A and B are shown apart, each in its own frame.
Chain A
């Protein structure tokens, strides 16, 4: 099964062991869920520094599973706000949605990995 939001092959190749990959992906999935809800709260409150900080965290977490689209979006917000471009925060809803999609895909992948074991 192909995944859109992340590169499952790259992650498998990097870590090799399915149980390790499952654990890593599980951590990313859990963290993304937390980041998405914090991001939503910070964006609603207009707390751009917090938005930037969480976007930076999302960038780090998503990078672990080669989720390039999420990393690109999170980077744009992180770098833009860091450079004082407040417009960059407008991409936050897109990032929240992308985090949701990635989280779901990782969930499906974990399920598939579990069935394979």
Chain B
């Protein structure tokens, strides 16, 4: 972990550096103004930054604005450490996206919990020898072979949180699947049938040579009975465990954990299904209609949009956006108000989008509660006029397309981000939406 401490106060830098090095395995770079900070950020790769606000040459706010404009640093976690108590400044910083805001002086009691929290959600460092090795991700599937259905199901469920998984119940099936797929990482378990683990590993390595998949990684699934010679066949091993927590930890070096949406998907793996279920209930109730998923384009156009935030487990903020096409928004508004569709106004459509987003969020909230997940609808709907909606980037969110039977299309966007503790409901509550 490499941390930048940027503060013009020498004693604060000293205190913070000591706190960091005492409690975390980390290296630290330091500077006393925003210009130096940007120079260092351009040269070095930091896990996060501790940033003062008021500094000579360039303020922390200016640094943060520039960081958020750059694709390379827009997600770089920043904890602001300042003695500026101005509410406008704090709100502006939160809007720019900071992990936390801590008032000076730097005291362990205040700062350590924030640091621990941030460090706990940082992507784990990869050992140098693992750099560049294949990992399971959204674009790189993993192949799992194990004859035990229960274990395979458990393992696949865990791995699917990070990307596509091909599962096979025998060594022969695994060879065929490997040939027909782009998999570059294969997890080899037990009970493989005629083509056992040893033969499978040999054949996979031969196949790799033929089709140029030089970076193939073969991972053995092992338990306490596995002997050393078996383990030595593999590039790496992970425990063949039925304990999901243990598997979760063990799989980290073999998967890509990209962004908050992926982290969120570990808590709620079926978020998209929950949204679809909620939409089915809402539109069944409103219009006595069914909804079905459709594939959204990279950019969709909405006549009416609205959004609402939900805080989940004090860790994530899920921003749910409802983007309704003109046909869907008009049909729902006409049904709700009893008006002739030709008389439905833009305002009516915006109201409908607000209503739908509130109802969807209420359903999601109820679903989370049923699962004993702590959730809180923390920001009210901000109705807008519609416009273009882009597909979120991988790991940052989802855009779900839905068709209402006989009543047009609408889209639900889900954007996840890590919550900053300052986002208490009292501070972020917006005016309540107007309901139809």
Contact = CB atoms under 8 A, between A and B. Distances in A.
Interface stretch (B99-107, B239-247, B254-262, B273-281): B99-107
B108 to A, nearest CB: 7
Contact of A64 (B15, B54, B56): B15
A56 B54 contact: yes
Interface of A: 14-15, 20, 23-24, 27-28, 30-31, 53, 56-57, 59-61, 63-66, 82
Given A14-B108, A63-B83, A64-B105, A57 B8 contact: yes
A51 B15 CA distance: 26
Interface of B: 8-12, 14-15, 18, 54, 56, 83, 86, 104-108
A60 B15 contact: no
Contacts, number: 47
B12 A60 contact: yes
B107 A24 contact: no
Contact of B83 (A20, A23, A30, A60): A60
A88 B54 CA distance: 19
Nearest to B86: A82
A64 B103 CA distance: 12
Contacts of A30: 10
29 contacts: A14-B107, A14-B108, A15-B15, A15-B18, A20-B18, A24-B15, A27-B14, A30-B10, A31-B11, A53-B54, A53-B56, A56-B54, A59-B83, A60-B8, A60-B11, A60-B12, A60-B83, A60-B104, A61-B9, A61-B10, A61-B11, A61-B12, A63-B105, A64-B9, A64-B11, A64-B12, A64-B105, A65-B11, A66-B105
Contacts of A64: 9, 11-12, 15, 105-106
Contacts of B15: 15, 24, 64
Instruction: Kindly name the residue among B11, B14, B15, B56 whose own CB sees the greatest number of chain A CB atoms within 10 A.
Output: B11
B216 to A, nearest CB: 51
B10 A63 contact: no
Closest 4 CB pairs of A and B: A63-B105, A64-B11, A60-B9, A27-B11
A64 B56 CA distance: 20
Contact of B11 (A24, A53, A56, A82): A24
Contact of A28 (B8, B11, B86, B108): B11
B14 A24 contact: yes
